[in-house]
């Protein structure tokens, strides 16, 4: 659990001094728990090899990544499919929505940049899926599943507690809009008190015990401790750093900033806004309730991080602090769009197709280079930069073989100008043969996935014909989009 590096005041990932002077990594324990089985297996498998220690450690890192993160991403995609299907969408629409989330949202770059975002999204999707299933049959096991997923999310990042009022809003709105009072709603409070509350308290207690184990205190957060160390090392920082920024700037930034606007990095969000407008007063109460809960969660995350000096997520693709509600909203929006697609007018289809094509281009651009490249270039020139535009300029320089002539060189330029797509984002020093084999096998798999996905989407589109759709589900979004 220790990072093993000396503190550096320019990066929040460097660590913070904990008990007994040990440097502790600035992260929750949730993702470490998920990675632990693969880490143990890789360590045991490589222990008796005759490889050099440095090479063995690189192989262990690669093995953990291959055995852990593809499973997280696959699970999140499958749970997303189940959530859309639970909302009453057809299997074809649900599958298209889940595939859209995989390729058209920031879910794709964060499946390559192994931070905590996709694991948090998986837990959030499980929470809402369990709530949706509870609305159908009222079984207590769904309350237990939702509480367990929410409690584990707390172990990943403490701000995920903001999703709890959102899921309560989802249940309340969906149940209230049903033609008759929900038969199980009267049991909701009892199940929450007897089942959900103990699980959530257990998760919170584990998180606080972990905080005490590392830093000797049950209260506070590692971010606050890190900020205190930074202020001691650099007295010019403002009091309260890192929560010392302008709330107005941090709140408006995700909407209008040319550096990290969510509309640039996640343009499919526009479909979510359109879906929320089109479904207003429509028959699908759960879909409307989920969109309302997702937008509330998005605003909550934005407000929570607004005072951060690095509200935009610092060295990350887009605003990494808000990707979970963004991906949730975009998943629902893509499912709604797939449901309404056969009845849309040609101009509307062209607009949606253009938006999705632009979104795919943006997400593919994210994995061409490491996510922090443009931020390093920005620091090099000492002024603000249109980061997304700069990314496409860097790609153009790569295509035209003019990276050496880049107007804003960066330190360690060869390492920064490298493909940030698995397996090319792994260390290759000392293992060129193994890396080449991995690269060839992985790219064969990528091509196979692309071919299968294209065939699958065509098959689903053919099945998702007007005769297979529920007219009531399609009526509201269709009428609105035609207008």
Smallest Cα–Cα separation from 359: which of 322, 395, 327? 327
Higher-pLDDT residue of 412 and 251 is 251
Confidence band (pLDDT; 50, 70, 90) for 130?
Answer: very high
Q: Please tell me which of 30-34, 47-51, 189-193 the model is most confident about, judged by mean pLDDT.
A: 30-34
In terms of phi and psi (left: phi > 0; alpha: psi -120 to 50; beta: otherwise), the region of 314 is left
pLDDT tens-digit readout, 9-48: 344 456 788 887 888 888 889 999 999 999 999 999 888 8
Query: Residue 430: left (phi > 0), alpha (psi -120 to 50), or beta?
Result: left
Taking only the tens place, the pLDDT of each residue in 250-305 is 999 999 998 899 999 999 999 999 988 887 655 588 999 999 999 999 999 999 99
pLDDT score of 208? 93
Residue 155: φ, ψ to 5°: -75, -20
Distance (Å, whole) CA 310 – CA 323: 15
Tell me if 395 is assigned to some domain.
no
For residue 323, what are the CA distances in angstroms to 30, 114, 298, 429, 467? 18, 14, 9, 33, 35
Number of domains in the chain: 1
In a domain, 459, yes or no: yes
Give the integer Cα–Cα distance in Å for 166 and 116.
20
Per the CB < 8 A criterion, the answer to whether 200 and 127 are in contact is no
pLDDT band at 8 (very low <50, low <70, confident <90, very high): very low
Residue 265 lies in a domain: yes
> Element (H or E) spanning 85, and its range?
helix 53-86
Residue 50 Cα distances to 45, 46, 64, 215, angstroms = 12, 9, 20, 38
Answer for the pair 25, 4: CB distance below 8 angstroms, yes or no. Answer: no
Answer yes or no: are the C-beta atoms of 419 and 446 closer than 8 Å.
no
Domain enclosing residue 123, as ranges: 16-367+419-482
Which percentage of the chain shows pLDDT scores above 70?
A: 82
- CA pair distance 379, 191, nearest whole angstrom: 52
Condensed to tens digits (0 to 9), the pLDDT of residues 197-255 reads 999 999 999 999 999 998 888 888 888 888 888 888 888 888 889 899 899 999 999 99
Judged by average pLDDT, the poorest of 50-54, 288-292, 327-331, 454-458 is 454-458
Reported confidence tier of residue 168, pLDDT bands at 50, 70, 90 = very high
d(CA 151, CA 133): 19
Express each pLDDT in 390-401 by its tens digit: 899 988 888 887
Residue-wise pLDDT tens digits, 90-111: 988 999 999 999 999 999 999 9
Residue 4 lies in a domain: no
DSSP state of 104: H
- Residue 195 to residues 168, 198, 229, Cα–Cα distance (Å): 15, 6, 40
Q: Is 412 a domain residue?
A: no
Q: Is 179 helix (H, G, I), strand (E, B) or coil?
A: coil
Residue 68 belongs to some domain of the structure: yes
Mean model confidence pLDDT for the chain: 83
Indicate whether 6 belongs to any domain. no
Cα distance between residue 38 and residue 36, in whole Å: 6
In a domain, 100, yes or no: yes
């Amino acid at each position: 659990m220790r990072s093993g590096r000396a503190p550096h005041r320019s990066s929040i990932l460097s660590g913070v001094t904990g008990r007994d002077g040990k440097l502790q990594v600035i992260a929750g324990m949730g993702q470490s728990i998920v990675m632990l089985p693969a880490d143990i297996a890789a360590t045991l498998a490589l222990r008796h090899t005759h490889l050099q220690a440095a090479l063995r450690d690189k192989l262990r890192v690669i093995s953990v990544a291959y055995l852990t993160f593809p499973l997280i991403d696959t699970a999140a995609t499958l749970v997303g499919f189940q959530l859309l299907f639970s909302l009453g969408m057809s299997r074809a629409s649900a599958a298209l929505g889940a595939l859209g989330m995989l390729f058209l949202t920031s879910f794709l770059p964060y499946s390559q940049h192994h931070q905590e975002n996709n694991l948090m999204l998986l837990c959030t999707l499980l929470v809402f899926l369990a709530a949706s299933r509870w609305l159908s049959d009222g079984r207590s096991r769904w309350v237990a599943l939702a509480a367990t997923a929410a409690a584990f999310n707390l172990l990943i990042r403490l701000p995920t507690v903001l999703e709890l009022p959102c899921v309560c809003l989802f249940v309340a709105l969906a149940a209230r809009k049903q033609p008759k009072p929900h038969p199980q709603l009267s049991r909701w409070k009892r199940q929450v008190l007897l089942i959900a509350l103990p699980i959530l308290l257990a998760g919170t207690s584990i998180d606080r015990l972990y905080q005490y184990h590392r830093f000797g205190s049950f209260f506070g957060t590692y971010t606050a401790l890190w900020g205190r160390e930074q202020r001691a090392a650099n007295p010019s920082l403002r009091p309260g750093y890192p929560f010392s920024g302008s709330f107005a700037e941090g709140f408006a930034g995700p909407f209008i900033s040319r550096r990290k606007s969510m509309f640039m990095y996640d343009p499919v969000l526009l479909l979510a806004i359109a879906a929320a407008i089109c479904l207003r007063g429509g028959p699908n109460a759960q879909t409307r309730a989920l969109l309302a809960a997702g937008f509330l969660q998005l605003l909550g995350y934005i407000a929570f991080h607004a005072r951060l000096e690095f509200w935009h997520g610092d060295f990350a693709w887009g605003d990494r602090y808000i990707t979970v509600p963004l991906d949730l909203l975009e998943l629902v929006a893509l499912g709604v769009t797939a449901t309404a697609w056969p009845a849309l007018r040609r101009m509307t289809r062209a607009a949606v197709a253009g938006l999705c094509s632009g979104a795919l281009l943006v997400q593919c651009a994210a994995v061409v280079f490491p996510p922090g490249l443009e931020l390093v270039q920005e620091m090099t020139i000492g002024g603000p930069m249109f980061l997304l535009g700069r990314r496409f300029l860097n790609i153009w320089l790569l295509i035209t073989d003019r990276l050496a002539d880049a107007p804003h060189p960066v330190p360690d330029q060869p390492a920064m100008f490298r493909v940030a797509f698995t397996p090319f984002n792994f260390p290759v020093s000392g293992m060129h043969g193994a890396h080449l084999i991995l690269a060839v096998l992985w790219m064969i798999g990528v091509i196979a996935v692309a071919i299968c996905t294209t065939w699958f989407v065509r098959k689903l589109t053919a099945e998702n014909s007007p005769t297979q759709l529920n007219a009531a589900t399609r009526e509201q979004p269709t009428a609105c989009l035609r207008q």
